[in-house]
Amino acid sequence: MERIVHESTNERADQSKETQTSLISGVPDDISNLFLARVPRSHHMAMKCVSRRWRDFISSDDFCDYRNKSNLAESWIYALCRHNTCGRVFLHVLNPSSSRRSWRRVHEIPTHITFRDGMGFAVLGKRLFVLGGCGWVEGASDDVYCYDAAMNTWLHLQPSLSTRRLGFLILAILANSSVFDLLIAFCRCFFACETLDGKIMAIGGLGVNSKAPQTWDIYDPVTKACVSFSDANIVRDIEDSFVMDGKVYVRGGVGAVVYDGLSGVWKRVEDDMASGWLGPAVVVGDDLYVFDQSFGATLTMWCKETRVWIRIGKLSQLVMTQQCRLVAMGSNIFVIGKDCSTVVIDVENVRKKTVNGVMVCSSIPKTWDDTIDVICCKSIAI
């Protein structure tokens, strides 16, 4: 009898332990995954309060990967902005599928970057990376900060070079190798920053090293390793960049260049394409769009077959008068201007909705009184 009672007690303990570790009591985890993955992203924050197991699962890479593979992921737009009244940098987020469709501030941001200029901005998976930058009293930095959109937390991945320089010099002497081989990245600001093949590229810009404008770093967040390269073709005074067809395009003050991810070679962009790249660019599907504000606010598209720029239409000057940033989401282009005033252009239907050459679009007005300059924008799908 004692033996039977003992087994029953163990069985109840095992069942209790299983209940505590299961996502949903009495339901296999693979089935629970199906249920939880279908909950809209706007409710994920509340779901994390149910239990520690739910919080860990909803914040995990597996959860985000499952939603992406099942076409359940929802994209939100993140904008790095500078408030002119205080000079501080803040991160703002927009949920385009929300009924309210209004920007809100992500409250936590590392204090070290709140007054920096010229930072790089890149997205891999559910993580947003802020790289480099400089300040009024500090030179260019090689800092790497990471914001996890699922966990709503920041992580300092790579301290500034100034805190490591002495250690590098000692290691260089002991290893009898050059310091350049050990400096894993150039300090830089006002540079191009893009993602290609799951890695982040920091290209050109300004730095404490005179070679920085004609170098680029490839940063691998998985191994946390960064490798530096140099090429005389990289343009100076970088203004814009984008990725298309496995290539990185960069525009500067004296022209445009393209990097082929397969060959690892930089070359000049041909004049017919470079001549129409007169504003912020964005890729929707396989098509390249440019928002030209040199004479009004005109959306153009690059035709790969005929190699000519096609005029799509204009935006009303009452809607968008300041410099802006572009983000692609599905067939929509989000044009984000001063104070985060946003115009949404559906490129599939825009030609059907044009009045006297002016595109008919939806808009998202600003929701605060502060004057805000948008530095850069990216979307994160979870």
Encode pLDDT of 205-218 as tens digits: 998 778 888 999 99
Those residues with Cβ within 8 angstroms of residue 42's Cβ, 6 or more apart along the chain or in another chain:
95, 97, 98
CB atoms within 10 A of CB 128: 22
- Among 250, 269, 288, identify where a domain stops: 269
Total number of domains in the chain = 2
Instruction: Specify whether 124 is located in the same domain as 232.
Output: yes
What dihedral angle (degrees, nearest 10) is formed by the CA atoms of 136, 111, 105, 95? Answer: 100
Mean pLDDT of 346-364: 76
User: Over the stretch 64-89, which tens digit does the pLDDT of each residue have?
Assistant: 999 999 999 999 999 999 988 888 99
User: Over the stretch 42-68, which tens digit does the pLDDT of each residue have?
Assistant: 999 999 999 999 999 999 999 999 999
Instruction: Specify whether 232 is located in the same domain as 122.
Output: yes
Residue 258 maps to which CATH number?
A: 2.120.10.80
Q: What is the pTM (predicted TM-score) of this model?
A: 0.86
Integer-rounded Cα Rg, in Å, for the chain is 24
Reduced to 3 states (helix: H, G, I; strand: E, B; else coil), residue 70 is coil
> Rounded CA gap, 330 and 341, in Å?
20
Asked if the structure places residue 335 within a domain, the reply is: no
Instruction: Specify whether 131 is located in the same domain as 265.
Output: yes
Q: How confident is the model at residue 181 (pLDDT cuts 50, 70, 90)?
A: very low
Mean pLDDT of 125-137: 90
**pLDDT for the residue numbered 55:** 94
Q: Which amino acid is at 80?
A: L
Mean pLDDT of 260-274: 95
Asked if the structure places residue 167 within a domain, the reply is: yes
- Of 3-17, 45-59, 152-166, which gets the smallest average pLDDT? 3-17
Check: CB of residue 335 under 8 Å from CB of residue 291.
yes
Instruction: Specify whether 153 is located in the same domain as 19.
Output: no
Burial label, 192 (beta-carbon count in 10 A; 0-12, 13-18, 19+): buried
Instruction: Specify whether 265 is located in the same domain as 120.
Output: yes
Q: What angle do CA 181, 110, 83 make, to 5 degrees?
A: 115
User: Over the stretch 302-351, which tens digit does the pLDDT of each residue have?
Assistant: 999 999 999 998 887 655 657 789 999 999 999 998 888 899 999 888 86
Instruction: Specify whether 27 is located in the same domain as 143.
Output: no
Instruction: Specify whether 204 is located in the same domain as 140.
Output: yes
Asked if the structure places residue 74 within a domain, the reply is: no
Residue ranges making up the domain that contains 63: 2-67
Instruction: Specify whether 33 is located in the same domain as 151.
Output: no
Instruction: Specify whether 263 is located in the same domain as 153.
Output: yes
Among 82, 79, 80, which residue's Cα sits nearest to residue 95? Answer: 79
